Amino acid sequence: LAFPLAFCIFMVRLIFERFVAKPCAIALNIQANGPQIAQPNAILEKVFTAITKHPDEKRLEGLSKQLDWDVRSIQHWFRQRRNQEKPSTLKRFCESMWRFSFYLYVFTYGVRFLKKTPWLWNTRHCWYNYPYQPLTPDLHYYYILELSFYWSLMFSQFTDIKRKDFGIMFLHHLVSICLITFSYVNNMARVGTLVLCLHDSADALLEAAKMANYAKFQKMCDLLFVMFAMVFITTRLGIFPLWVLNTTLFESWEIVGPYPS
């Protein structure tokens, strides 16, 4: 189910960004104007795409002689060409608004789901009768939704404008997919829901801070970023190791043992 649902999420994102996020951005006076386009030049374009985006002095001098341009003009061309690959503020706002909306939805769903579960209040319930624990429809939906979202991010990375952190984010999404899949296959879904909900709690605030920054609401941006930092530190550096890792490393061993029958 994850792959077709990931495709559906990707299509929903395209519709959301065009018909919801973009009008919101325009209403906030966020311009769609991109950076200035560099003057077309086949030689410089070949160097930029095939060799280097940051030529050294020796290469600049060689290009200067070849094109009969001064070095400063070539440096200016490369600067403009690099800026062309940066997404516009409107595109970044639309992307952040989509992620904010999804993270807010999935975090709200996770909280509503976990409130009804015994393992939220007592993590030892994550391991009672493990691995023969029933997979309820709500839990299954939660897992498949999260897994499909990360697969959709994998797809969209190759269609979006590439950023400097492309490799790092690709690795992040890949690791997330592997961890979600591993916990699902091993029926560690109960403790997995705690991890997912904890990690989603800060992400919505980060995307909201980005949106405020793009809209030039500086005070709101600062406030949201402080809130994000507080929630991030509390959940991922406090609650996660003391609560989730504790039950995974110690309570599971105490209740299940090293080899569940």
pLDDT in tens, 141-161: 999 999 999 999 988 887 776
pLDDT in tens, 212-234: 999 999 999 999 999 999 999 99
pLDDT at 55 over 60: yes
Give the torsion sign (CA, 33, 35, 41, 46): negative
Side chain identity at 203, as an amino acid letter?
Answer: D
pLDDT at 176 over 80: yes
Residue 162 banded pLDDT, cuts 50, 70, 90: low
Q: State how far the Cα of 237 lies from the Cα of 145, in Å rounded to an integer.
A: 25
CA distances from 69 to 17, 38, 49, 74, 251 (A): 42, 15, 20, 7, 70
Do residues 210 and 120 touch, judged by C-beta distance below 8 A? no
Do residues 10 and 152 touch, judged by C-beta distance below 8 A? yes
Query: What is the helix, strand, coil percentage profile of the chain, to 5?
Result: 75, 0, 25
Q: State how far the Cα of 12 lies from the Cα of 152, in Å rounded to an integer.
A: 10
Q: What is the DSSP letter of 216?
A: T
- Over residues 29-40, the mean pLDDT reads 74
And the tokens for 38?
A: 């560099």
Q: Which residue has the higher pLDDT, 175 or 260?
A: 175
Domains and CATH numbers, the chain: 1-27+89-256 (no CATH), 42-85 (1.10.10.60)
Q: State how far the Cα of 202 lies from the Cα of 210, in Å rounded to an integer.
A: 13
Has this prediction a pTM greater than 0.85? no
**Residue closest to 104 by CA, chosen among 208, 5, 18, 24:** 208
pLDDT in tens, 231-251: 999 999 999 999 999 999 999
**Residue closest to 195 by CA, chosen among 243, 124, 234, 129:** 243
Q: Please state, for a pLDDT cut of 70, what percent of the chain lies above it.
A: 95
List Cβ neighbours of 152 (8 Å cut-off, separation of 6 or more). Answer: 6, 7, 9, 10, 13
Do residues 2 and 147 touch, judged by C-beta distance below 8 A? yes
Do residues 143 and 109 touch, judged by C-beta distance below 8 A? no
Side chain identity at 39, as an amino acid letter?
Answer: Q
